[in-house]
Amino acid sequence: MGLSALFNHSICYSAEKQNTMNIAAFPKQDVQGQVAVSLIRAAYKTLGYDIKIHRLPGARSIVQVNRGELDAELMRIKGMEKSFHYLIPVKTHLLYMQVSAFSNNKQINVQSFSDLKPYRLAYELGFKLLENNTKGMDVIKTNGPHHAFRVLSEGKADIVIDLKLDGLAHIQQQGLQYIHIIEPALKTFPVYHYLHVQHKALVRPLEQALLNLHESGESARIHASIVKRTSRSMQ
């Protein structure tokens, strides 16, 4: 390859690299995660960017983004910038989630995080919302939903806490008919996309792009399509 060709190749490679955002996400490709990826991909596409998802344990991924080793964190609860000072939130919410309790004991009735205190709990390591709301409680932090629901099945926990749609999907996929969801949900909350500070120029454009997706109804269509597809694949 001549010098001219080599130079042009380097320019093309740099441009491609600059137009791809490396985004950290939880390892499990759950229903809500699929919706979040689809939404953030659509938002970045309007700005001329592609995305590449890097699936990492929750406790590790946010540290890598904070260090600038990755460009962004797919979705986290509000306020993460208070602990990770190199992160900037995109203030338009990505989506709303519900956290629910699941149990094989039909006598258990919990309606808030404070109601969980008498019970042995299991949930996935790195779920900051749950860590913040179950401090001082009897908790087993697991490697994922398979591990959490196995701990429940083995009698080592009384309750599994998970995202509502993901927990229901796991119960159906694994045929765990003896495990039920406890209604109402413990919490309904928005999650937000976070950028490393080096990409602060993208914050406002992404806020507007996500707002456009919500107001046009496109985000609702994406969500409904993925839930329908997931439900069909489990039948």
- What's residue 11's pLDDT? 36
pLDDT in tens, 107-122: 999 999 999 999 999 9
Residues with pLDDT less than 50, the chain: 1-16, 235
- What's residue 233's pLDDT? 55
Which domains, from first to last, does the chain contain?
3-96+190-233 (3.40.190.10), 97-188 (3.40.190.10)
Cβ atoms of residues 201 and 174 within 8 Å: no
Cβ atoms of residues 20 and 51 within 8 Å: yes
Tokens of 30: 């759950």
Q: Which amino acid, 107?
A: Q
- What's residue 13's pLDDT? 34
- What's residue 166's pLDDT? 86
The string of DSSP letters for 19-66 reads: TEEEEEE-SS--HHHHHHHHHHHHHHHHTT-EEEEEE--HHHHHHHHH
For the whole model, what pTM was predicted?
A: 0.73
* Share of the chain residues as helix, strand and coil, in percent rounded to the nearest 5: 45, 25, 25
- What's residue 232's pLDDT? 57
- What's residue 231's pLDDT? 60
- What's residue 145's pLDDT? 85
